[in-house]
Amino acid sequence: MAGSVGVRVGDPAPDFSLPSPNGETVSLHNFRGQSAVVLFFFPRANTLVCTAEACAFRDSFEAFHDEGAEVIGVSGDSLETLRGFAARHRLPFHLLSDADGALRTLYGVPKTFGLIPGRVTYVIDLRGIVRHIFVAQFQTTKHVEEAIRILKGFERT
């Protein structure tokens, strides 16, 4: 779980609006009632582990779509960095810049070794309720597997 502070399973997911590299602002409330959301926080674009994770989400993008879910990746990287990262790796999902770390703090994403921004995935249902939290700094593909497993158990209404 994401620690003693922040979001827990069963909590309403805190709403947010953050910029994306394509110039739009993405808000969590826009998905409520429309689709589930897989919200994953990653430490830094263009690093080996984060690239592997983003590409795992990309490679399973159809599976998320089939389960009625949107995928949103969040890091503290600049919009310019995220734009290049998305283009270089053909990432079909939303990438958002949390440059000041406010969203990471709001959700209670822990730091690894007290230094490295954590890697946490939240699965949010159609009503905006957090149904699963997965924390693992180095098991990148497990984030994808866990999210799909949880989504398969969701009702579509």
In percent, the amount of the chain with pLDDT more than 70 equals 87
Expressed as residue numbers, the domain containing 35 is: 17-152
CATH at 133: 3.40.30.10
The reported pLDDT for the residue numbered 74 is 95
Supply the pTM of this predicted model.
0.89
Can you list the alpha helix ranges (DSSP code H) found in the chain?
48-59, 61-66, 79-89, 102-107, 140-152
Q: Is residue 69 part of a domain?
A: yes
Q: Rounded CA gap, 12 and 7, in Å?
A: 8
Dump pLDDT digits (tens) for 11-28.
999 999 999 998 899 999
Overall number of domains in the chain: 1
Q: Is residue 3 part of a domain?
A: no
Q: Is residue 126 part of a domain?
A: yes
pLDDT top residue among 96 and 6: 96
Q: Is residue 98 part of a domain?
A: yes
Calculate mean pLDDT across residues 111-117.
67
The reported pLDDT for the residue numbered 156 is 54
The sign of the CA dihedral 13, 34, 120, 47 is: negative
Q: Is residue 1 part of a domain?
A: no
| 147 three-class SS | helix
Q: Is residue 157 part of a domain?
A: no
First to last CA, the chain: 27
Dump pLDDT digits (tens) for 125-139.
999 999 988 876 666
Predicted confidence (pLDDT) at residue 157 exceeds the cutoff of 60: no
The reported pLDDT for the residue numbered 41 is 92
Mean pLDDT over the full length of the chain: 86
Q: Residues with catalytic annotation? A: 50
